[in-house]
Structure 1
Amino acid sequence: MITEGSFTMKAETFLPDDYRPAEDEPFMNDRQLEYFRRKLLAWKHDLQSDTRDTIEGLQDGTRNIPDVADRASEETDRALELRTRDRQRKLVSKIDAALRRIDEDEFGYCSVTGEPISLKRLDARPIATMSLEAQERHERREKVHRDD
């Protein structure tokens, strides 16, 4: 840690390009945290880039189509694209939350049990907040209550 005035920063962590978190190293060490931070930031960057492309496409694609069927088809495509972008916007907020958890040293631990979330699960879904077991229990309870 480096402290300057009222700011505290972590020293830059070296991370080889081929690094993958391993079970035989300390859980959520600096290298693992940096790996997940970079993975989340790259994912966020890709989503934001897609969003910019969509906005430009929607602005450029505004045109008057005389055929009713063609116009309806284009409006359906636009609505689908906007729904997709809305889901991605929500995903970006989950990515931001995961980045905050990294900064607050809470990343990688189940919000329900406090136990570590498996590295395989985090690698597949770095925004995960629950261990696989806790997530399955949550989904079973949700299904039971939804059926009522």
Structure 2
Amino acid sequence: MKNSDFEYFRNLLRNMREEIQQKGENTIEDMTEDREMYADPADRASAESDRAFILRLRDRDRKLIYKIDQALDRIDEGSFGICDECGEDISIPRLKARPVTTLCIKCKSRQEQQEAMQGD
């Protein structure tokens, strides 16, 4: 991988992180401001369900931020784009689709097949 590729992914990951953090800040603002009283219990239940869903999304985002930080660390260490399983290079298209990945497509496919077999 060229230095320009590393810079591309560093910027991509940083932008992803900033976007996720902004969504989190907006969620906090929305939940702080949204303290409506509902006369109808169904409306209140619907609003609570929506809040719970949004909080689950933010929790997924929190986990993604952790993976983004790990990917940025791998860029700094020089191990970004190398498969943890086989040691081969991860293709640029795969990294563009999932920049936090640690597995090449072959190893990820094998992992998913093993998980599917164990789930049966």
Question: TM-score with structure 2 length normalisation?
Answer: 0.98
CA distance in 2, matches of 1:65, 1:117: 52
The Cα of 1:66 is off from its aligned counterpart by 1.7
* Distance (Å, rounded) in 1 between the aligned partners of 2:80 and 2:26: 31
Residue matched to 2:68: 95
Percentage of identical aligned residues: 45
> What's 1:74 paired with?
47
Which of 24, 32, 38 aligns to 2:5? It is: 32
2:24 pairs with 51, 55, 63, which one? 51
State the alpha-carbon separation in 1 of the partners of residues 73 and 2 from structure 2: 16
Letter in 2 for 1:45: E
The residue type paired with residue 33 of structure 1 is F
Provide the residue aligned with 1:41 in structure 2.
14
Q: In structure 2, how many angstroms separate the alpha carbons of the residues matched to 1:70 and 1:120?
A: 45
Deviation at 1:65, TM superposition (A): 1.2
| Bigger strand fraction | 1
Q: Which runs of 5+ in 1 are unaligned?
A: 1-27
Instruction: Classify the secondary structure of the residue corresponding to 1:53.
Output: helix
1-structure distance, mates of 2:34, 2:69: 31
Number of residue pairs matched by the alignment: 120
93-102 or 62-71: which moved more? 62-71
Note the residue ranges of structure 2 that are not aligned, 5 or more in a row: none
Structure with bigger helix share is 2
